[in-house]
Amino acid sequence: MRCPLAIAALLVAGCASTQIAARTGTAVKVDETDEQGLWQLAGEAQAELDRSGHLYADPDLEAYLLEVARRLEPAEVFQAIPFRFRVVRDRTPNAFCLPNGAVYVNTGILTLVGDEAELAALLGHEMTHAVERHALKQLRSAENSGALLNVLSSWTGAAARPGGLVFMASVAGYSRDLEREADREGLGRVVAAGYDPHDAPRLFERMRDWVTAEKIKPGSAFYASHPRLDERIESMRALAEASGASGGEHGVERYGRRTAGVLLDAARGDLAAGRFPSARREAERYLALRPDDAQGHLALGEIARREGAAGGEEAALASYRRAVEIDPKAAEAWRGLGLMLRRKGDGPGAREAFEHYLGLAPTAPDRAHVEAMVKEATGGKP
């Protein structure tokens, strides 16, 4: 890992030597002490995040985000602000950009995004915060230096905890005016890149649906940043209309192909947390993209088995059977099949499935359990 302080120093130096013309508002001098301090803090927060253990490490996905981002901003902007993209394993639909161009996108929002045009709108919005120096503007709008210091400390303090990142982006986020500016400027870049801007409001609509489905209450950290989702949906619709674009690229297939793994990961996370309806939706969306993927069918089988709902036995069995049909070496699917057949009282079937599992995973951590169930299936006591 590169030294974060060195990175911060480079970023500050790079920024100081390359003026980016702010598209709106007052031009900001970039070599002033407060911005250098801000960038240094951002570098430290970035380093904390990167070693937090909460990142969703997928270089291909990060590369995809960068590809989309490069369509939104000219090369000179990337020279001044070396945007880099990381994905955080967090089901909260959120994303944020540090002033030094480090953009963090939660898996939760990637599962809500429907196509590349929506992703472009999201990234365009976040990148605008950095290009237009919104953090600096917000800090300078603080009425006194004490308030400024408080914001700076809360930035690093919150960013030191992965859960606090949401808090930082939400509570210590940007003013309504700056968010509007990011929407407007971001959508302008989406149109210029050839995407259909009319897709952008749909992401906010899904976020609103998510807030409703999750029963997010006013006062919670996430809700604090999104009390005006309805307003933003309307605003995005108006901006899309005002752009004059009558269509454009959607990138549905490309987005699905490049981000499908996030859906499977989200399904597994929701499965572990017992959020079965969400897990099922994500697994089904994954299978719609990759219908012949054994892991997707395995996930559906696990969801049906662990949920234990009426009628779930047959669904679980069908999914496990499909998984081992596609990939006979899918050990976990054989295990699930054995557990379901055991539950149904099919001793010989359970034994056969468990033996497949143990043959494929001889060092499985639950080997002793499975051996006991094999013994039970052959008439011995567990």
Partner 1 sequence: MRIAAAPLLLALALAGCATAKPPAWVPAEGTYTADRAGFQIDGPAGWMRRNYQPPVETFLATRDGTALQRIVAGTTELGKPLGFGKSKRPVTAGMSPAELGELVVDDLQSADDLTDVRLLESAPAQVCGRPGFHVLAAFRDAGLPRRATLYGATDGGRLFWIYYVAPERHYYPLDLPTFDKVRETFRLRGAPPPAPAPAAPPTS
Which positions from 158 through 197 interact with partner 1, judged by CB under 8 A? 163
Give dist(CA 382, CA 379) in Å, integer. 9
User: Where does this chain touch partner 1 (CB under 8 A) — which range of 97-105, 134-142, 169-177, 273-281?
Assistant: 273-281
Give dist(CA 202, CA 197) in Å, integer. 10
Residue of 53, 146, 219, 311 that binds partner 1 (CB under 8 A): 53
Give dist(CA 239, CA 197) in Å, integer. 8
| Residue 47 engages partner 1 in binding (rule: CB under 8 A) | no
Give dist(CA 312, CA 321) in Å, integer. 14
260: Cβ contacts below 8 Å, ≥ 6 apart = 286, 289, 290
Residue of 247, 308, 328, 348 that binds partner 1 (CB under 8 A): 308
| Residue 51 engages partner 1 in binding (rule: CB under 8 A) | yes
The encoded tokens of residue 354 equal 């468990």
Taking alpha carbons only, the member of 262, 245, 203, 248 closest to residue 65 is 262
Which positions from 250 through 269 interact with partner 1, judged by CB under 8 A? 269
Residue of 172, 323, 370, 374 that binds partner 1 (CB under 8 A): 370
Give dist(CA 140, CA 184) in Å, integer. 22
User: Where does this chain touch partner 1 (CB under 8 A) — which range of 177-185, 189-197, 207-215, 362-370?
Assistant: 362-370
Which positions from 54 through 73 interact with partner 1, judged by CB under 8 A? 54
| Residue 275 engages partner 1 in binding (rule: CB under 8 A) | yes
Nearer to partner 1, 42 or 373 (CB): 373
Are β-strands 95-97 and 102-106 bridged in parallel, bridged antiparallel, or unpaired? antiparallel
Shortest Å distance, C-beta 341 to partner 1: 13
| Residue 301 engages partner 1 in binding (rule: CB under 8 A) | no
Which positions from 330 through 359 interact with partner 1, judged by CB under 8 A? 339, 342
| Residue 213 engages partner 1 in binding (rule: CB under 8 A) | no
Angle of helix 145-159 relative to helix 33-50, nearest 10 degrees? 20
Shortest Å distance, C-beta 273 to partner 1: 4
| Residue 29 engages partner 1 in binding (rule: CB under 8 A) | no
Taking alpha carbons only, the member of 303, 335, 337 closest to residue 318 is 337
HEC-encoded secondary structure of 247-276:
CCECCHHHHHHHHHHHHHHHHHHHHHCCCH
Provide the binding-site residues for partner 1, judged by CB under 8 A. Answer: 51-54, 163, 269, 271-275, 306, 308, 339, 342, 365-370, 372-373, 382
